[in-house]
Structure 1
Amino acid sequence: MPPAEARPSRPAVWLGFLAMCTGMFMAILDVQIVATSLPNIQQALGIPPDQMSWVQTAYLIAEVIAIPLTGVLMRILTMRWLFVIATTVFTLASLGCAASDSFGTLILWRVLQGFAGGTLIPAVFAAVFLLFPSRRQGIATTLAGVLAVLAPTVGPIVGGWITETWSWHWLFLINLAPGVVAVLLGAALLPRERMQPAAARSLDLVSLTLLVLSLTSLEIALKEAPAASWTSGPVLALLALAVSAGAGFVVRCLKAAPPVVELRSFADRRFAIGCLLSFVLGIGLFGSVYLMPVFLAFVRGHNALEIGTIMLVTGVAQLLTAPIAVAAEQRLGARLLTGFGFALFAAGLGFSALQTPATDHDGMFWPQVLRGVAIMFCLLPPTRLALGHLPEARVPDASGLFNLMRNLGGAIGLALIDTVIYSRSPGHAAALLERLRAQDAEAGRFIGIPAQMIAALPPGPLPPQAEAMLAPLLEKAALTLAINDAWLMIAVLTLAALACVPFAGGPKEAGTGKPSDRQPNGHLEPVPLSGPGRGEGQRSA
């Protein structure tokens, strides 16, 4: 334990934790607001169109590599200095992105930005269980969870407003002021612990290399597969490299002492099921935040600011539900709340699978409300289920793995969604055209063609002029049906995750008001992640 004078007071703990949440919010928001302005960045820097997506991919690859390394970095640097260093690097990298005058320079700064930002997410969720007693962990998890899922929701409107009002440089410059404030607060208020630089010398560099190879090749494969085909040579080679390097990483981590990442937490049933739920939630979260802008932009023709305004419904529902979720999480079992959350989230996803080309704000309102209400119940109970009962020494690594599963779920989910859209749209277009040739009035209404026009069409093949006139409507209708297929796919996957919830219970289930497994009295004092007497416990965990 750190000496008494080194322990911050309770208000200071909350303020320091809020600083950590601010850093995490910046890192998550950055991905979404940059996505809204990629065409502007491409035009300003003269980036080839086929290379534009690397502005996002470079960030995401670095982020997904950093997430599982958060535990070992926290042991070496301590929670306080990891947050301060990571937020400083993220802020400086944001300034570098804004000052970039070439594609290569921007990509370099994006990699640094992504790696620094990737450590902030699991560090925050680890801090929940390391800084607060069990009775306060629900509130802390809610604060972190609301910001984590709110950032992608408000991202489109923030990015759209910045793009419409200022220049693309401000997508990065807005990080400077909150970054500086978060660094100063974190340095002053987070627990002061002794760093362990000697632990860096024991890192298994082979394991580290295998981890980087596996996650990098997997991310690139998932990016390329929908357009290039999952069975293309390069994609299969990347997937093979990801699997073989990943297998080698797992074997070395299970044998190494200490491992780069503690994988033995997966032997804990509650943690493993929590990670599976996090993976599926990632598919739904990333998928819904992706599908809505695609539909609103390419079918409805809205700009970024209008899209962001429509998507605010989910964020408002999250904020309004958060106090209810905290109260319920402190009184009811985690399994019950998790089942309720995932069932409601699946319903919200499923209702979105009923869209037509005419669907807009009103038709998307209630599905968004359902998903917004459900998200907090999909996040809070599974987080406590996975992490709340683990020994403190294992929490940083476990938090990294838990959050990695959500990001991997999102990456794989987006690849599957793109595959569905690429593969299903042509078939839907052909089927709709055949129904038009058969003078199918229902197909005409779905596409948006007046009934009298359908009746006036000659039987058999349509005249070339008619096909040319109907082509834009037909394309949007086919895209709508393909997007509906994607909504249905992630709804079914979310619903299927409910099957594992009954097996996630333990002797003392988190969220029931019973004592934590970690402390007989259910109270967790702020504890050091390093320092005298901690090393052996970490190695044996």
Structure 2
Amino acid sequence: MTAAPAEEKAAGPLVWAGFAMMCVGMFMAILDIQVVATSLPTIQSALGIRPDQMSWVQTAYLIAEIIAIPLTGFLTRVLTMRWLFVAAVSVFTLASIGCAASSSFETLIAWRVLQGFSGGTLIPAVFSAVFLLFPARQEALATTIAGVLAVLAPTVGPIAGGWITSTYSWHWLFLINVAPGVISAVGAVVLLRKARPDWGSARAVDLLALVLMGLALSSLEIALKEAPGRGWTSALVLSLLATAAVCGATFAWRTLRRSPPIVELRTLADPRFAVACLLSFVLGIGLFGSTYLMPVFLALVRGHSAVEIGAIMLVTGVAQLATAPLAVFLERRVDARLLAAAGFVLFAIGLAMSSQQDAGTDFKEMFWPQIVRGVAIMFCLLPPTRLALGHLPADRIPDASGLFNLMRNLGGAIGIALIDTVIYSRAPEHGRLIADLLRKGDVATAKLVGIPLDLFQAQIGQPVDADTEAMVRPMVESLALAQAINDAWLLVAALTLAATLGLILVARGARPSLDRVVAHP
């Protein structure tokens, strides 16, 4: 390793082309989650999967992914960045073919686990590449490209999944990965920098720590999945959380005592990195939460199809793309703390704007909240990424990138569990309150529910007949669900706004240093 000169040489076209191949692989991995989610009922029907097992098609992928993400640094040291990416995208492509060829639930789950594990390394590998392949002055543009694709995939996923399933068949949800996978793997072999693998690191791996980490993360993921339905105090959820806590603490204790560790947890002692991880965690809540709440509302309250939902949600992606050039311009000229604070405050405003929905809310009312969130997203992604990775030496970046991206995924998992808990608990309460107000003859509530006023006024003080109750009950339930979803929007907005306080702990001058140690990955 050598110290970089004051003016580092700009990356050439071949470096950018290699980076583009990595971005293609990352985009595939993120898109895969979304396109499959929209078509789960079709897959369930085709393979005869029991309704209570259907969610495991997604959960199996997510558990494997969340275990793989923090291992990216270790795997990069062993295989090098180039061969890790080639191996990961090749396995992901092979697993996609296996998923498409599956004829049973068990076979599909096995391939999904392999697909999730290989896909999990692609996101942190790309963000590591930003700081390993490019000089400081080009990092903002590279981060923007990666960031746009990372958050654009969940936006276009629903409409893409719905269109593919309705136009072709569910098999093509997986087969669309094959051609891009082959192209990106071959392109990476040719274009990415060559380096020698370090097989000695693999021989020194702490296998017990690896098992403990896997148990901790998988137990936490399953607990978060089950908690909203079973209750946070149910025996299963409490036992899973206890397993996650014990295994996680033991893993941390063993890892901090070993050199080299399987995951470099000591990086969390760096204040900039720690605060950036907090921001990444909360951004995960906001990103995953908003892309979860909108389809839930549009499907269950408004009754839209997957294609219609995807078309409505495209607004966020368009606003994000339009803002990207401004984000790149400001990212290199404004203190990262100020940009991050502005981004998170704006994102919180956009989330709060969605908390005023009622049963009649649709595209028009959702337009401006999506615009605000889309504009804010790049300012919530670029500055925290710089805070997390921009000042670190090259040999610490892969591990740090894995932890940084893990925080976002954990935030998403915990956020969705909290959102489901709010919806499950608050919807019945809102329903009872609405029913009480209707019984008292509250005209404003009747208008909100959508009951014709002549019918409502005729029923005041009279017993409700069966036909009227059958008509009104779904309307009350829709409004109650909409109000519970509003509560969830407010919770996510409050958490996002609170995260900005962490920036107070970051020292001034969070600009990447040109004397950062640079090494070939």
Aligned residue number for residue 294 of structure 2: 292
Written as runs of structure 1 = structure 2, the 5 A alignment for 1:249-260 is: 249-260=251-262
CA positional deviation for 1:50: 0.2
**CA distance in 2: counterparts of 1:347 and 1:409, whole angstroms:** 19
Aligned to 2:5: none
Q: Which of 56, 69, 72 is matched with 1:70 structurally?
A: 72
Any residues of structure 2 matched to 1:74-223 within 5 Å, and which?
Answer: 74-223=76-225
Please give the TM-score of this superposition, normalised by the length of structure 1: 0.94
| Mapped pair 1:373 → 2:375 | yes
What is the rounded CA distance, in whole Å, between the counterparts of 1:104 and 1:125 in structure 2? 33
User: What stretches of structure 2 of length at least 5 have no aligned partner?
Assistant: 3-8
Cα pair distance change 1:8/1:106, threshold 3 Å: farther
Deviation of 1:509 (Å): 1.7
* One-letter identity of the residue aligned with 1:331: R
Letter in 2 for 1:340: A
CA apart distance, 1:501: 1.4
Residue of structure 1 aligned with 2:308, choices 300, 306, 327: 306
Residue-by-residue CA offset, 1:209-232 (whole Å, 9 max, x unaligned): 100000000000000000000000
Q: What CA deviation, in whole Å up to 9, does each residue of 1:229-274 have, x standing for no partner?
A: 0000011000000000000011011001111100000110000000
Write the deviation string for residues 249-304 of structure 1: whole angstroms up to 9, x where unpaired: 11011001111100000110000000000000000000000000000001101000
1:500 aligns with 502
Q: 1:468 deviation in Å?
A: 1.9
For residues 220 and 51 of structure 2, the distance between their equivalents in structure 1, rounded to whole angstroms, comes to 23
What amino acid is aligned across from residue 205 of structure 2 in structure 1?
L
Residue equivalent to 1:535: none
Hey, what's the Cα distance between the residues in 2 that align with 1:346 and 1:8?
Answer: 36
What residue number does 2:510 align with? 509
CA distance in 2, matches of 1:43, 1:464: 35
> Which consecutive residues of structure 1, in runs of 5 or more, have no partner in the other structure?
511-515, 530-541
Q: CA deviation at 1:460?
A: 6.6
Contact 2:11 2:135 in 1 (8 A): no
Structure 2 residue aligned with 1:453: 455
- Structure 2 partner of 1:534: none
Q: Which amino acid aligns with 1:390?
A: L
1:428 to 412, 430, 435: 430
Q: Helix, strand or coil for the counterpart of 1:331? A: coil
Shift of 1:505: 2.6
**Paired residues of 1:440 and 1:454 also in contact (CA < 8 A):** no
Q: Residues 36-75 of structure 1 correspond to what in structure 2 (within 5 A)?
A: 36-75=38-77
Check conservation: 2:60, 2:112, Cα contact below 8 A: yes
CA distance in 2, matches of 1:9, 1:397: 23
Q: Indicate if the aligned counterparts of 1:437 and 1:460 stay in contact, CA closer than 8 A.
A: no
Task: State which of 321, 346, 349 in structure 2 corresponds to 1:347.
Answer: 349
Contact 2:273 2:387 in 1 (8 A): yes
Mapping for residues 309-328 of structure 1, pairs under 5 Å: 309-328=311-330
In the alignment, is residue 528 of structure 1 matched against residue 514 of structure 2? no
Aligned AA for 1:528? H
Q: Which amino acid aligns with 2:301?
A: V
Aligned match for 1:479, one of 474, 478, 481: 481
Contact 2:289-2:412 within 8 A present in 1 as well: yes
- Local SS of the residue matching 2:332: helix
The two structures have a TM-score, normalised by structure 2, of 0.97
C-alpha distance in 2, partners of 1:266/1:60? 24
Q: 1:281 is matched by which residue type in structure 2?
A: L
Instruction: Give 2:37's aligned residue.
Output: 35
- Of 235, 238, 263, the match for 1:236: 238
Q: CA deviation at 1:461?
A: 5.6
- Deviation for aligned residue 1:466: 2.1
Amino acid at match of 2:157: G
Aligned to 1:353, what secondary structure does the other structure show? helix
Cα distance, 1:8 vs structure 2 = 12
